Amino acid sequence: MSLKERVSNILHEYFEVLMDNYNQTALLLNACDKSATYYHAKSSKLALDTTANIPGDFRLTTDVSTIFTKKQLIEQYERKLSVKLAKDYLITTVATLDGLMEDIYEEVLIEQEVDKTEDQIKKMVRWGENSIPSDIMNRIPLLKEHTNPKGYKLEDFLYTYEHLRQIRHATVHTKGQLRQRHLRKMNSLEEKMNEKQLGSVKQFYSGGQVVLSPLTTFVLRHWCLNYISFLSVAINESIE
């Protein structure tokens, strides 16, 4: 199987994973909407115990439970859970894209580094100063030249991708607080973006804090599908 075929198969597999992730997130958002409507119509005396459905074998002798009132349930379903879903969607999507780039990079290395063993190739697949996407471009020069109908090149997508990786890092490691190292990197990337790109990434933070919502989920989905589409065409036209 040629490199082009192997990479195309990888892109198809990851596209399915990305679609499953969004579809499941969309279903959960819909469930939150339905649940909020349901609890709005219920009696104010309603209460829900989060440990009620745990089988007896898995309960603790001195268990810790949370009981939500009607008002609290509505707040959870209308606001707090949508933020959690946006957070989970961001983290999973960026991690999936990282896996995609690593798998493509590995196939490119296998094709080009024919004197390397499998273990040596595995050790080369790492994120460092020279990022994996950048090295893929260096190894397949025609990728740099490919432009889509809207005038975007791969490097334009990679500016947004790296920006999202900074948002993901802050979300996971610093409770959504953007440190100076995040902001410096993000600002340097934003200087290379056009107005539309800038408008998209600005949805994900305000000041020094990550801001996630259903809107960021939709923005990320839109960008992600465009990125996968771009990669599919660019790879097909750039690899012999």
pLDDT the model gives residue 64: 83
Does residue 98 form part of some domain? yes
User: What is the spatial distance between Cα 110 and Cα 102, in angstroms, rounded to a whole number?
Assistant: 12
Tens digit of pLDDT for each residue in 110-150? Answer: 999 999 999 999 999 988 766 899 899 999 999 989 999 99
Does residue 183 form part of some domain? yes
Tens digit of pLDDT for each residue in 139-159? Answer: 999 998 999 999 999 999 999
Query: In this predicted model, which residue has the larger pLDDT, 43 or 177?
Result: 177
Per-residue pLDDT band for 62 (boundaries 50, 70, 90) equals confident
Instruction: Name the packing angle between helices 132-139 and 154-173 (round to 10°).
Output: 160
User: What is the spatial distance between Cα 108 and Cα 10, in angstroms, rounded to a whole number?
Assistant: 12
Instruction: Specify the residue for token string 């798998």.
Output: 103
User: What is the spatial distance between Cα 7 and Cα 235, in angstroms, rounded to a whole number?
Assistant: 8
Residue pair 68/46 in contact by the 8 Å Cβ criterion:
no
Does residue 27 form part of some domain? yes
Does residue 57 form part of some domain? no
For residue 202, the enclosing domain spans: 3-52+64-238
Cα distances from 191 to residues 15, 157, 169, 181, 198, in angstroms, run 30, 14, 20, 16, 9
Q: Give me the number of domains the chain comprises.
A: 1
Does residue 121 form part of some domain? yes
Does residue 224 form part of some domain? yes
Residue 43 has pLDDT above 90, yes or no: no
pTM (2 d.p.)? 0.93
Per-residue pLDDT band for 58 (boundaries 50, 70, 90) equals confident
User: What is the spatial distance between Cα 205 and Cα 216, in angstroms, rounded to a whole number?
Assistant: 10
Per-residue pLDDT band for 60 (boundaries 50, 70, 90) equals confident
pLDDT the model gives residue 205: 98
H or E segment to which residue 49 belongs: strand 47-49
If you average pLDDT over every residue of the chain, what do you get?
Answer: 94
Of 16-30, 44-58, 206-220, the range with the lowest mean pLDDT is 44-58
Residue 20 has pLDDT above 80, yes or no: yes
Residue pair 213/32 in contact by the 8 Å Cβ criterion:
no
| 147 DSSP β-pair partners | 153
Does residue 133 form part of some domain? yes
Does residue 59 form part of some domain? no
Cα distances from 32 to residues 21, 52, 150, 216, in angstroms, run 17, 20, 36, 17
Average pLDDT of the residues in 25-32: 98
Query: In this predicted model, which residue has the larger pLDDT, 60 or 232?
Result: 232
pLDDT the model gives residue 164: 98
